[in-house]
Amino acid sequence: MMLHRSLRLFAMLLTFGAILSFLPGQEKRLPERISDQTYRVSVDLVNVLCSVFDKKTNSFVTNLTRDDFLIYEDNQPQEIRNFSRETDLPLTIAMLVDTSGSVTPKLKFEQEAAIAFFQSVMREKDRAMLVKFDSGVSMLQDFTNDPNKLADKIKKLKTGGGTTLYDAIYVTCDEKLIRETGRKAIIILSDGDDMSSRATLEQATEMALRAETTVFAVSISKGGFFGVGDKSEGDSILKEIANATGGRIFFPFKVEELDEAFRQISQELRSQYSLGYVSNNPGKRGEYRKIEIKVQEKDLKLSYRKGYYAPTS
């Protein structure tokens, strides 16, 4: 269960005025500890992105109207104030690549997968950034619409050290994505194991929810591309984060399935419904509130973030 408590911010590095205020071209090291400040945000309208699939064909359903949806907060019905489905909105994407020692045999696959994703998914108005994580978290490329810049940084990736998956999610959302508008997504390439993070799984998930960011994960564990086997505990962690934020996890066994995973992620991000409501919940400020969305048609399944944190002021 998520921790219903104030979220702590990551500390600034040394004497820099901001965490990411480094000289252009330098590798940007992200912080490694959490401070005691309270995170504050004020939002009146709650916006939820929702993907709808046909249970039989697993294809996207894109012809629903406002009247087809019901939305609840903490089991109380809410009035849908805003409703839209736009298929060509620009995307803001953060790619998080695991470069810990445990993925050394899989690095080439990660590099090929990341490059293929940017080349196949990005459109002219999309923006993407690249983050690697091992014993620490580093932003290798800030937001750009040039997939070649991202590919150049990906080709230079090296592995070693521990794993800070939770820190990578937390700080990417806190320092970058929470400041962005529109449709935002994190794409994780990892086996899901975390050994060195200072943030917890609950804190990482909470920050992703606060940043209104959908998390998709491509597993590189033994249960995926690299052989037949049981899915690991790391896969369960990746699935938990993805489900909480309205995303999905993929387990590609071969290149063709990897290409299909990327196609589905791209299509899903461009096929979501946007539902907006003003909460009538009298509960405490800053607390976690559960969201549930239903549709009238029984043969459909939904994917959406399962809750949010009420503004603190």
28-59 pLDDT per residue, tens: 555 544 444 444 444 478 999 999 999 999 99
pLDDT above 70 covers what percent of the chain?
A: 81
d(CA 185, CA 268): 11
Average pLDDT, the chain: 84
pLDDT of 228 reads 42
Please, where are the H alpha helices in 36-145?
A: 107-121
Residues of the chain with pLDDT under 50: 1-26, 32-43, 226-230
Q: Where are the beta strands (DSSP E) in the chain?
A: 8-10, 28-30, 34-38, 45-54, 69-73, 76-78, 82-84, 91-98, 127-133, 137-144, 183-190, 214-219, 249-250, 273-278, 288-295, 300-304, 307-309
pLDDT of 13 reads 32
Q: Are 283 and 289 contacting, i.e. CB atoms less than 8 angstroms apart?
A: yes
pLDDT of 10 reads 39
pLDDT of 138 reads 96
Chain segment 175-193, per-residue pLDDT in tens: 999 999 989 999 999 999 9
d(CA 135, CA 262): 27
pLDDT of 89 reads 84
Q: Are 275 and 71 contacting, i.e. CB atoms less than 8 angstroms apart?
A: yes
Q: Are 95 and 190 contacting, i.e. CB atoms less than 8 angstroms apart?
A: no
**CA-based max dimension of the chain:** 57
pLDDT of 247 reads 96
In the chain the domains, ranked by start, together with CATH numbers, are 45-87+271-309 (2.60.40), 88-269 (3.40.50.410)
- Count CA atoms closer than 13 A to 284's CA, side-chain side: 6
d(CA 220, CA 117): 15
Give the strand pairing for 300-304 and 45-54: antiparallel
Q: Which residues of 284-300 are buried (b: 16+ CB within 10 A; e: fewer)?
A: eebebbebbbebeeeeb
Cα 122 from chain centroid?
16
pLDDT of 233 reads 86
